């Protein structure tokens, strides 16, 4: 019973973070490619228009750039967590399972 509950818990956590990954991936694609401003040219640059002096004039652009950076962080973190939690679900077996590698060697 504990084995089943552990598998179920890992599966639910993995599915939640995989869903979060897919939603943030869709939002990131929408933000980068289907936005009014072309963000692809502004990403990962030392962009000086978002400094404290120009933040008021370029507020919308700076917010989109920062949102894009955070979406990338959420993408990477949710993908790693979903992989860590879903991978053991599919390879976990009980010790007395007939398909385990120890029972095949006997």
Distance separating alpha carbons of residues 101 and 103, to the nearest angstrom: 6
Question: Which tens digits make up the pLDDT trace of 36-72?
Answer: 877 877 787 766 667 777 667 778 888 888 888 899 9
Q: Where are the beta strands (DSSP E) in 1-106?
A: none
What average pLDDT does the segment 5-24 reach?
92
Q: Could you tell me the pTM of the whole model?
A: 0.73
Distance separating alpha carbons of residues 65 and 31, to the nearest angstrom: 9
Do the Cβ atoms of 85 and 13 come closer than 8 Å?
A: yes
Q: Which is more confidently placed, 98 or 20?
A: 20
In terms of Cβ atoms closer than 10 Å to its own Cβ (0-12, 13-18, 19+), residue 34 is: exposed
């Amino acid at each position: 019973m504990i084995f089943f509950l552990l598998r179920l818990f890992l599966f639910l956590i993995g599915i939640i973070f995989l869903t979060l990954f897919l939603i943030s991936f869709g939002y990131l694609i929408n933000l980068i490619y289907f936005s009014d401003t072309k963000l692809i040219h502004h990403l990962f640059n030392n962009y000086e228009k978002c400094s404290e002096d120009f933040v008021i004039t370029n507020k919308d652009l700076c917010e989109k750039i920062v949102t894009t950076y955070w979406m990338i962080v959420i993408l990477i973190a949710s993908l790693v967590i979903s992989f860590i939690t879903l991978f053991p679900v599919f390879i976990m077996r009980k010790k007395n399972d007939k398909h385990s590698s120890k029972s095949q060697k006997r």
